[in-house]
């Protein structure tokens, strides 16, 4: 896997999933939001040992979707705290959705997972894992 990108700056790496209520946005617009964020990821190249999932992917709610459907994006964020990771991720998706749809879509779901809580296939198979981050 090659070097990958993240938004933000900071010592820790986080996977952020932001899911917004669709509120009339079309399927095409949902895809365009993901594409727009992928284009915006231009900072924070990650080394091969940090990568486990793609740069930017569509995301959905783990529980239940909102009645009108959702629009979600999953991507990497560099930040010093979980709060900063949330803010960077939420702001980025909200801004991209507004550029594409012309409206501020309401939040439905947001998840943040520290890189230290994830294992690559190699780490799993070797029995090694990243050291947990302590804040």
Answer whether residue 125 is part of any domain: no
What's the pLDDT score for residue 21? Answer: 94
How far is residue 50's CA from residue 93's CA, in Å, rounded to a whole number? 23
How far is residue 97's CA from residue 35's CA, in Å, rounded to a whole number? 11
Residue 70: beta bridge partners?
21
Answer whether residue 129 is part of any domain: no
Residue 38 · residue 83 · CB < 8 Å: no
Q: pTM of the entire structure?
A: 0.77
91-129 pLDDT tens trace: 999 999 999 999 999 999 999 999 878 766 676 777 765
What CATH number does residue 27 fall under?
3.30.70
What's the pLDDT score for residue 42? Answer: 52
Answer whether residue 77 is part of any domain: yes
- Residue-number span of the structural domain to which 25 is assigned: 4-115
**Confidence grade of residue 16 (pLDDT, cut at 50, 70, 90):** very high
The domain total for the chain is: 1
Answer whether residue 135 is part of any domain: no
Is residue 110 classed exposed, middle or buried when 0-12, 13-18 and 19+ CB atoms within 10 A define those classes? Answer: middle
Answer whether residue 121 is part of any domain: no
**Can you say how many angstroms the Cα of residue 20 is from the centroid of all Cα atoms in its chain?**
13
Answer whether residue 41 is part of any domain: yes
Q: Encode burial over 22-39: b for 16+ CB neighbours within 10 A, e otherwise.
A: bbebeeebbebbbebbbe
38-61 pLDDT tens trace: 877 754 445 544 445 567 778 888
List C-alpha distances in Å: 49 to 38, 57, 69, 116, 124: 21, 20, 35, 12, 13
61-74 pLDDT tens trace: 888 889 889 999 99
Answer whether residue 131 is part of any domain: no
Residue 134 · residue 117 · CB < 8 Å: no
Taking every pair of Cα atoms in the chain, the longest distance, rounded to a whole number of angstroms, is 48
Answer whether residue 104 is part of any domain: yes
């Amino acid at each position: 896997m090659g070097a990958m990108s993240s938004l933000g700056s900071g010592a820790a790496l986080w996977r952020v999933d932001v899911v917004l209520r669709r509120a009339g946005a079309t399927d095409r617009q949902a895809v365009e939001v993901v594409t727009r964020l992928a284009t915006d990821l231009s900072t924070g190249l990650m080394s091969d040992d940090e990568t486990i999932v793609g740069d930017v992917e569509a995301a959905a709610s783990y529980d239940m979707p909102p009645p009108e459907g959702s629009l979600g994006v999953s991507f990497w964020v560099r930040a010093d705290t979980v709060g900063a990771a949330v803010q960077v991720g939420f702001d980025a998706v909200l801004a991209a959705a507004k550029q594409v749809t012309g409206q501020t879509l309401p939040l439905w779901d947001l998840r943040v997972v520290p890189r230290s809580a994830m294992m690559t296939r190699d780490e799993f198979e070797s029995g090694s894992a990243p050291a947990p981050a302590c804040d």
